[in-house]
Each structure stands twice: as structure tokens, then as C-alpha cells.
């Protein structure tokens, strides 16, 4: 009896090795000439095949094997592990839609599992890694921000929270860059009111980004072009108060003083309110 079990084990191991060798030549179990049906393998064997494909930098095939584990053994512990590995493999293959699907499935099925934080992080990355250059539509940036915020708020003590905070800040900066790009476009074409709306958005909604100083300087330019000196001087005063070491302050200083104006908060306008809040140590 023992000899029979040993023989079956040897045959099974040999079958797996043969199959793995065939797969290394580009075939999957159950596919191609002489392919062994994948149903003949255990969940663990198929899962390990997926890991093997990842190790040899073939995430597309890895995702296939992990998905087969889930399909053939849906209620096993291996299926649970295979779902999160699908999300990872799809992401490695830049198949972001399927990565999101697998990650969301894991979150839905196993919301309290220790890997749920990683699944949410992968879901956020599937948006974040698609963020295009500034000139493109920013819908994915908003979705990345929402998904990253979920990681930060739902899993604050996880190892992914800090990375999510950093990526959130970068994505937020990216949105501000989009507003600046559009604002500059309008300013170059003398559409000053439209430009002001964009720069105001940066000052009010994206004040923690790297674009605030330039936005204030562009407001100085736009308001001077419209003859609104109170607003221009107040924008300059904010630059002087908080960004005096920047080139944008120097440019605004030259622009305003060259017209006999000062960098001071004056008049009753939205920038004057911003200035008062900054002086009091408060922000919008």
C-alpha cells in the first residue's frame, strides 16, 4: 500500500514537472498540443505555477493561473490567496481594469482580512499609475485621490498608509498643475477673467501644493491687466508674507513697484480675506 502511494506521488510529481516544462515553452495546462487539463492539478499546484510565472516576469500567465485557482477551487483558502495575487499580477502587466476588479472582489469578499489594506492599495494604484500628463483629462486623478483617501482613513496603521499619503499629495499637486496649465492658457490669450478663476481655485483649493506661489503671481499679472490694483497688490502682499524667497515674489515685486504700487493688502476682496486668515495663522 505504501509502495503504491509512493508510486502515485512520483507519477504525480513527474506529471507536474513535465507540464511545467511544457508551459515554459509557452503552453498553459489544457492548452496547446499535448496539454494536460488544468483540472488535473490541485489548487496549490496551480497557485504555485502562478508564482513561478511571476518569478520569471510573466505576469500575464501568472494572472491566468491565479484566476484558474479561483475558478476551479472557489471555496478554498488558495482561492482567497489567488484573488489578491490576481490583482497584483494584473497590475504588474499594466492591466489596470482587471487589477481593480480583482482587488475590489477581494475587498468585497474579505473586508476584515489582513490583506484587505493591500487590496485597497492596489485598487488605488490602478488609478494612480494611469494618471496622464497634465494636459489630459483628470478623471483618473480624482478616482486615485478617492481610493488613496480610503487607504489612509480605513487602514491608518497599515504599512500602505504612508505611501498612500505621499501619492495623495502628488496626485493633488497634479490636479493643481492642471488648473495652472489652463489658467496660463487663458492668460496668454488675454481671457483674464477665466484665467483668474483657475488661479483662484489653486489658491483656495490647492493651497498646500507647490503651485500656490505661481498662482498668486499670475493673479498679480491678470488683475493688473484688468486695472484691478487692489487685488493685484493684495496678491503681491500674500506672496511677500508667505513666499518671499521665491522667484514668483521677485517677479511680482518688480511688476508692482514698476507701476508705483505696493505689495500690501488693500480693498475689500477675496484675496484680502485670504491675507487676513494667513496673518491670523489660519487658512481657508
Interatomic CA distance for residues 116 and 276, integer angstroms? 44
CB half-sphere exposure, 212, CA atoms < 13 A: 19
In sign, the C-alpha dihedral spanning 20, 26, 28, 31 is negative
Q: Can you list the residues of the chain whose pLDDT is less than 50?
A: 1-15, 17-18, 21-24, 32-33, 133-135, 283-284
Q: Are 264 and 223 in contact (CB under 8 A)?
A: no
Q: What is the pLDDT of residue 40?
A: 86
Interatomic CA distance for residues 138 and 144, integer angstroms? 10
C-alpha dist (Å) from residue 236 to 176, 213, 223, 227: 20, 10, 11, 15
Q: What is the pLDDT of residue 38?
A: 87
Q: What is the pLDDT of residue 12?
A: 42
| CA R_g for the chain | 29
* DSSP character at residue 1: -
Q: What is the pLDDT of residue 37?
A: 84
Q: What is the pLDDT of residue 281?
A: 55
Interatomic CA distance for residues 139 and 175, integer angstroms? 10
Q: What is the pLDDT of residue 191?
A: 97
* DSSP character at residue 246: S
Whole-prediction pTM: 0.75
Q: What is the pLDDT of residue 39?
A: 87
Interatomic CA distance for residues 28 and 136, integer angstroms? 39
Q: What is the pLDDT of residue 64?
A: 95
Interatomic CA distance for residues 67 and 87, integer angstroms? 10
Q: What is the pLDDT of residue 277?
A: 80
Amino acid at each position: 500500500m505504501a509502495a503504491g502511494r509512493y508510486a502515485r506521488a512520483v507519477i504525480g510529481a513527474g506529471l507536474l514537472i513535465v507540464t511545467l516544462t511544457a508551459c515554459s515553452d509557452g503552453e498553459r495546462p489544457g492548452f496547446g498540443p499535448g496539454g494536460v487539463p488544468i483540472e488535473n492539478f490541485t489548487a496549490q499546484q496551480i497557485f504555485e505555477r502562478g508564482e513561478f510565472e511571476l518569478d520569471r516576469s510573466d505576469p500575464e500567465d501568472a494572472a491566468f493561473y491565479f484566476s484558474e485557482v479561483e475558478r476551479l477551487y472557489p471555496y478554498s483558502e488558495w482561492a482567497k490567496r489567488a484573488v489578491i495575487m490576481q490583482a497584483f499580477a494584473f497590475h504588474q502587466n499594466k492591466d489596470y481594469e482587471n487589477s481593480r476588479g480583482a482587488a475590489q472582489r477581494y475587498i468585497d469578499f474579505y473586508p476584515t482580512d489582513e490583506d484587505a489594506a493591500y487590496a485597497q492599495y492596489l485598487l488605488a494604484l490602478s488609478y494612480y499609475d494611469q494618471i496622464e500628463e497634465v494636459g489630459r483629462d483628470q478623471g483618473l486623478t480624482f478616482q486615485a485621490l478617492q481610493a488613496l483617501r480610503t487607504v489612509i482613513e480605513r487602514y491608518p496603521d497599515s504599512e500602505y498608509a504612508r505611501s498612500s499619503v505621499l501619492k495623495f499629495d502628488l496626485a493633488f499637486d497634479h490636479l493643481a498643475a492642471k488648473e495652472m496649465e489652463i489658467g496660463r492658457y487663458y492668460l496668454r490669450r488675454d481671457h483674464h477673467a477665466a484665467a483668474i478663476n483657475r488661479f483662484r481655485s489653486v489658491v483656495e483649493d490647492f493651497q498646500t501644493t507647490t503651485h500656490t506661489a505661481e498662482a498668486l503671481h499670475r493673479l498679480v499679472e491678470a488683475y493688473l491687466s484688468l486695472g484691478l490694483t487692489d487685488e493685484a497688490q493684495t496678491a503681491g502682499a500674500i506672496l511677500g508674507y508667505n513666499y518671499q524667497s521665491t522667484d514668483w515674489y521677485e517677479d511680482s515685486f518688480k511688476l508692482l513697484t514698476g507701476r508705483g504700487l505696493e505689495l500690501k493688502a488693500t480693498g475689500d476682496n477675496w484675496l484680502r480675506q485670504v491675507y487676513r486668515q494667513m496673518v491670523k495663522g489660519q487658512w481657508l
